[in-house]
């Protein structure tokens, strides 16, 4: 039997799909590259914010139209974990629903589903407090860059976020399990490890009583074959001196860190139930930049949180302007069922959210262009991601994560494949991309 996976959402979802594929292959199932070749479709959904929910529902309907009467359609992931019974009742064209904690049951459920007279099912169990391991993870043909999930769930109770309800409490993976998976990735040809969790900086606190990310990073740096290690989703209030020192001292750790700041107004940060203040944010950024002058900080901001006034927004705008982040994403607040923020008064109108978003992003575009122009004439390490039809290559520097950050388009000296790391002289700079030639 052939199974096709259609994955939406964040890197954690893609990691889950690779794990589910590995579980199925271990039991004798085949993974199809296209829907046309499959007997079963699995849509792994995102249910984080309203736009993601709409995209997931649209994709479910699209796949339902393709399945016909002889194929089966299963919907899995965060949307199912969040709304299991509602989806079961409202989407009769779907044969089964599976939550985020139940992929190990997938072979058994598929076997039952393909028997004559099989009934539709919904399985969405709560978290069992054990971290999901990845022994059977299925990797792409050339996994030169790979996400490495080091923890599951979240203990932060941010007022706008449903992740703790979907993914459960924070559970760190055992260091030896993380190391073993990293070695398998390196043996398969991985050169770039991108560490992910809801909060990397909380890693180890649940089993050590204190953060253990710095220690884990130094161990990962000893693995042969791995050349870049990238950190995503580090909370400001847990960025320790030990972590900063590890980034500064270890050449394999990219001078890049993703810190989801969300806001800079103390009043809004408090309403969000965040543990940072404007002063602590500025202090941590200064600590990073003093210890690692070349550090590139990526962050995300939320505009239009309930009660956000013009004064609160001005604080946020000035903060982003002062700090001149290398990489910045801004999102309008999304009112989500079951969150504390959804019940707050003073919800901000959508048009004001959009105006505030546009205002910050217009300024950030100018900052990004200025930052990129400072690279003119420099020679940078670039990892190749793809080759264009005209023979040029598209890649990324150490300061850019795949799919979300800047690209470098360059003229190569020879033929390259994804994962090659080459030196590129920067000749042109644009708002979010660079151009150059291999040297």
Task: Please tell me whether residues 319 and 266 are part of one structural domain.
Answer: yes
Mark the binding-site residues, compressed into ranges.
Answer: 10, 46, 78, 154, 158, 161
Kindly give, in sequence order, each residue whose CB lies less than 8 Å from that of residue 98, ignoring residues fewer than 6 positions away.
74, 75, 76, 77, 80, 105, 106, 109, 123, 124
Specify burial of residue 343 (Cβ count, 10 A radius: 0-12, 13-18, 19+): exposed
| C-alpha to C-alpha distance for 148 and 177, rounded to whole angstroms | 11
Q: Which of 336, 358, 373 is a domain's end point? A: 373
The token duo for 9 is 């959402």
Among 370, 373, 381, smallest CA distance to 427 is for 373
Helix (H, G, I), strand (E, B) or coil at 143: coil
Q: Report the CATH number at residue 385.
A: 2.40.50.140
- In this structure, are residues 227 and 252 in contact, taking their beta carbons and an 8 Å threshold? yes
Per-residue pLDDT, 132 = 59
| Residue 135 belongs to a domain | no
Task: Please tell me whether residues 195 and 249 are part of one structural domain.
Answer: yes
Task: Please tell me whether residues 302 and 252 are part of one structural domain.
Answer: yes
Task: Please tell me whether residues 183 and 167 are part of one structural domain.
Answer: yes
How many domains is the chain partitioned into structurally? 3
- Which residue range forms the structural domain that includes residue 430? 379-438
Among 123, 121, 46, smallest CA distance to 79 is for 46
Per-residue pLDDT, 49 = 78
| Residue 212 belongs to a domain | yes
What separation, in Å, do the N-terminal and C-terminal C-alpha atoms of the chain show? 49
Mark the binding-site residues for [4Fe-4S] cluster, compressed into ranges.
Answer: 10, 46, 78, 154, 158, 161
Kindly give, in sequence order, each residue whose CB lies less than 8 Å from that of residue 438, ignoring residues fewer than 6 positions away.
393, 410, 411, 412, 413, 414, 422, 423, 424, 425
Task: Please tell me whether residues 391 and 366 are part of one structural domain.
Answer: no
Helix (H, G, I), strand (E, B) or coil at 396: strand
Per-residue pLDDT, 134 = 60
Among 12, 72, 71, smallest CA distance to 44 is for 12
Task: Please tell me whether residues 186 and 106 are part of one structural domain.
Answer: no
| Residue 182 belongs to a domain | yes
How confident is the prediction along the chain (439 residues), in pLDDT tens digits per residue?
999 999 998 888 999 999 999 999 999 999 999 999 999 999 999 987 788 888 999 999 999 998 877 899 999 999 999 899 999 999 999 999 999 888 989 999 999 888 888 899 998 887 765 545 667 788 888 999 999 999 999 999 999 998 888 888 999 999 999 999 999 999 999 999 999 999 999 999 999 999 999 999 999 999 999 999 999 999 999 999 999 999 999 999 999 999 999 999 999 999 999 999 999 999 999 999 999 999 999 999 999 999 999 999 999 999 999 999 999 999 999 999 889 999 999 999 999 999 999 999 999 999 999 999 999 999 999 999 999 888 899 999 999 999 999 999 999 999 999 999 999 999 999 999 999 999 9
- Determine if residue 179 is left, alpha or beta; phi over 0 gives left, psi from -120 to 50 gives alpha, anything else beta: alpha
User: What's the half-sphere exposure (Cβ side, CA atoms, 13 Å) at 17?
Assistant: 26
- In this structure, are residues 402 and 256 in contact, taking their beta carbons and an 8 Å threshold? no
Specify burial of residue 94 (Cβ count, 10 A radius: 0-12, 13-18, 19+): buried
Q: What residues pair up with 2 in beta bridges, in sequence order? A: 30
Task: Please tell me whether residues 66 and 49 are part of one structural domain.
Answer: yes
Task: Please tell me whether residues 240 and 288 are part of one structural domain.
Answer: yes
Task: Please tell me whether residues 183 and 220 are part of one structural domain.
Answer: yes
Per-residue pLDDT, 52 = 85
Task: Please tell me whether residues 266 and 163 are part of one structural domain.
Answer: yes
| Residue 84 belongs to a domain | yes
Per-residue pLDDT, 131 = 47
Q: Report the CATH number at residue 183.
A: 3.80.30.20
Q: Which of 340, 373, 406 is a domain's end point? A: 373
- In this structure, are residues 160 and 336 in contact, taking their beta carbons and an 8 Å threshold? yes
How far is the CA of 11 from the CAs of 343, 373, 422, in angstroms? 29, 30, 26
Task: Please tell me whether residues 239 and 327 are part of one structural domain.
Answer: yes
Q: Which residue has the tokens 């709409």?
A: 54
Among 245, 247, 252, smallest CA distance to 182 is for 252
| Residue 158 belongs to a domain | yes
């Amino acid at each position: 039997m052939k199974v096709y996976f259609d994955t939406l959402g964040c890197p954690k979802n893609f990691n889950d799909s690779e794990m589910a594929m590995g579980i199925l292959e271990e039991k004798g199932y085949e993974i199809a590259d296209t829907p046309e070749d499959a007997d079963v479709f699995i849509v792994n959904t995102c249910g984080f914010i309203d736009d993601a929910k709409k995209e997931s529902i649209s994709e479910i309907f699209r796949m339902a139209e393709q399945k016909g009467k002889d194929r089966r359609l299963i919907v899995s992931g965060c949307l199912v974990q969040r709304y299991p019974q509602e989806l079961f009742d409202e989407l009769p064209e779907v044969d089964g629903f599976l939550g985020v904690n139940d992929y190990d049951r997938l072979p058994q459920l598929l076997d039952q589903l393909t028997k004559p007279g099989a009934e539709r099912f919904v399985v969405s169990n709560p978290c069992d407090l054990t971290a999901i391991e990845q022994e059977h993870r299925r990797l792409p043909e050339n996994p030169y860059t790979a996400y490495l999930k080091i923890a599951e769930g979240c203990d932060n109770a941010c007022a706008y976020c449903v992740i703790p309800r979907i993914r459960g409490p924070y559970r760190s993976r055992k260091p030896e399990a993380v190391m073993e998976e990293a070695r398998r990735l390196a043996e398969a040809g991985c050169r770039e490890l991108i560490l992910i969790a809801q909060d990397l900086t909380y890693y180890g606190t649940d089993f050590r009583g204190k953060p253990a990310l710095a220690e884990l990073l130094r161990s990962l740096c000893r693995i042969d074959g791995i050349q870049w290690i990238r950190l995503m989703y580090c909370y400001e209030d847990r960025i320790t001196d030990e972590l900063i020192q590890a980034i500064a001292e270890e050449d394999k750790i990219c001078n890049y860190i993703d810190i989801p700041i969300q806001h800079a107004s103390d009043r809004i940060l408090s309403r969000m139930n965040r543990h940072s203040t404007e002063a602590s944010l500025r202090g941590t950024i200064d600590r990073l930049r003093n210890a690692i002058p070349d550090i590139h900080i990526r962050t995300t901001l939320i505009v239009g949180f309930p009660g956000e006034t013009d004064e609160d927004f001005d604080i946020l705008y000035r903060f982003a302007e002062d700090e001149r982040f290398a990489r910045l994403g801004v999102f309008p607040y999304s009112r989500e069922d079951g969150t504390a923020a959804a019940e707050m008064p003073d919800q901000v109108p959508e048009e004001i959210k959009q105006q505030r978003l546009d205002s910050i992003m217009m300024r950030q575009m100018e900052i990004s262009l200025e930052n990129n122009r400072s690279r003119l004439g420099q020679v940078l390490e670039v990892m190749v991601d793809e080759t264009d039809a005209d023979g040029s290559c598209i890649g990324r520097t150490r300061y850019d994560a795949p799919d979300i950050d800047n690209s470098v388009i360059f003229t190569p000296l020879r033929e390259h494949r994804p994962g090659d790391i080459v030196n590129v002289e920067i000749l042109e700079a644009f708002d979010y991309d660079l151009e150059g030639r291999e040297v």
